[in-house]
A and B are shown apart, each in its own frame.
Chain A
Amino acid sequence: MKYIIKFFLIVVFIAMPVAAPRVFAATLTFSKITTEFYVDNAPFKCLYGYSYPPPGYNSAYYPAGPGQLQVSVVLLPGGSPLSDGTYIVYSGPDVASNCMDSSNPTFLSDNGYFTVLGGVITAQGPVSAFIDTSTHIISWVPITGSTVATGTQSIGFTGWINEDDFEEDMYFSFRNNCIEPLCNAFNDAFLAGPIYITNSGEFSFSTSTDLQSVGLHSEDVKIFSPTFNVFGYPLFYQQILSDSSQYNVGTSTGFFEGIIDELQAGLASSTAQFSQVCNPIGGNFTVSLCLLAFVYPSADQIQTMLTQLQTQAPWGYVFRFYDIVAGNATTSTSSLPVISYDVSSTSPFGPLHIEFDLFGAIRGTDSILNTAVSDSDNPKTLWQIIDPAVYFLVYLLLIILIFRDLTKSNL
């Protein structure tokens, strides 16, 4: 016990100074709410939005300024002009197919709208809509604040270059890497650039990469514009935009937040268990269980740990292998195919249906193995009769094999 306590004290004292700034920084980030609505293609029938971070802030109304409850709609310029009509603003999942679903709990009231007439926004409800033509990043892949699985994933972004900002030879650089908790700038790192931007308006970058580290990842884009040209060759560059987006890989939170969460959940269920079995006037009072509750954490926590052990590598592979070999990997066993052929009516032999069912022939109701071969009151099928003999023979051979193996004899 002394060594266990020592071990944990060492771990905590070493890890806290390392983790504390990150944990603190993560807390600061969570106080920031920025909202962006965007349109995937124009003309469009609905808008959808997302919030960052945290996903829990995805409520019907977003604060647009001090004391205001408003939704700001940033429209992606370009494409065909907006067709005339009234556009209702939805805040929903990030998938476009769901954004017209009025049963969505984050559906705004009817008042969330704006009207377009002749390509110009003429009226708006508690929604302030405007078209953002400044140089900015419109959207990120994966979506900011979202969680993606490990493995091959698309990463990238779509941006917009303002006409006045556009210069020949301007370029952007892109970087993706894992930032925390158990990784550094080299984990899942993907670098691209300089990639030259050839025209103003929309531009995008997309690639797929193998994300292996679980944790918070960051995508960074920097756009550079030439400031000094000599005979048409750019000599100096100036950074005109720097933007980044963060997303999670896997479901894990930060390592130490994770431990605290686990510990809190474990202690909560332990306390619940304790009050249940140690309360003398409660119905479930048991002396032995109460004493056990002093030492053992709750069954829930142990179950969580065992489940984790059974589903993650390397033990997960062992359990999976067992499941497959034991036939539990799929719910039903597949049966062998039935071979059949229809002879057409134009044939001299037809019409005729020929079928060969191996399963039916051997194992079906009236097949060889399943035919009752006894006239007694308790008739048995052929298989039921020979089954013990087959078992005996096979297992006798097995025992001989093991005996041979043990004694190295040539029996």
Chain B
Amino acid sequence: MIIVILFSLIFSLVTLMFSFLPDGNVLPFGTDNILVTAVQTVYAFIDVFPPIGIVFQAFSVFILYKIGMLILRLFIGHRAPN
């Protein structure tokens, strides 16, 4: 049970630490509103013309690939494909 108590203490600490940070439900500096409007407009266009959605999807995959490569490079350095 001592392990449970220790884990509980760790989780309590992490929870408390984060509770003092600012609320992250809304993006700061008004960017939330801008991004929601932009993305919703894209979705509205996708409703009208689905191929836009596929391009959008492919673009997201490409961005994920680029971010993934960045992270990979960060961890394995020069051995990662560049």
B76 at the interface (CB under 8 A from A): no
Cβ A266 vs Cβ B11 within 8 A: yes
* Contact pattern, B 12-53, Cβ under 8 Å of A = 1, otherwise 0: 111110111111111110001001100111011111111100
- Contacting residue for A294 out of B3, B36, B62, CB 8 A: B3
Given contacts A312-B23, A321-B27, A363-B47, contact A296 B12 (CB under 8 A): no
Q: A4 at the A/B interface (Cβ < 8 Å)?
A: yes
Q: Is the CB of B47 within 8 A of A335?
A: yes
- The reply to whether A308 and B18 form a contact with Cβ atoms under 8 Å apart is yes
Count B interface residues, CB 8 Å: 51
> A296, B4: Cβ atoms under 8 Å?
yes
Beta-carbon nearest neighbor of A392 in chain B: B54
Interface flag for A206 (CB, 8 Å) = no
A333 x B44 contact (CB < 8 A): yes
A residues 274-298 in Cβ contact with B at 8 Å = 293-297
B58 touches A397 (CB 8 A): yes
Which of B21, B43, B60 neighbours the largest number of chain A CB atoms within 10 Å of its CB? B21
Partner of A320, one of B1, B6, B18, B26: B26
The segment from A23-31, A131-139, A299-307 that touches chain B is: A299-307
Q: Which chain B residues border A311 with CB–CB below 8 Å?
A: 23-25
A314-B24, A320-B25 are contacts. A395–B18 as well, Cβ < 8 Å? Answer: no
Residues of A that sit less than 8 Å from B by CB: 1, 4-5, 8, 150, 182, 214, 252, 255, 258-259, 262-263, 266-267, 270, 293-297, 301-302, 304-305, 308-309, 311-317, 319-321, 324-325, 327, 329-330, 333-336, 358-359, 362-363, 369, 383, 387, 390-391, 394-395, 397-398, 401-402, 405-406
Q: Which residues on B are within 8 Å of A, measured CB to CB? A: 1, 3-16, 18-28, 32, 35-36, 39-41, 43-51, 54-55, 57-58, 60-62, 65-66, 81
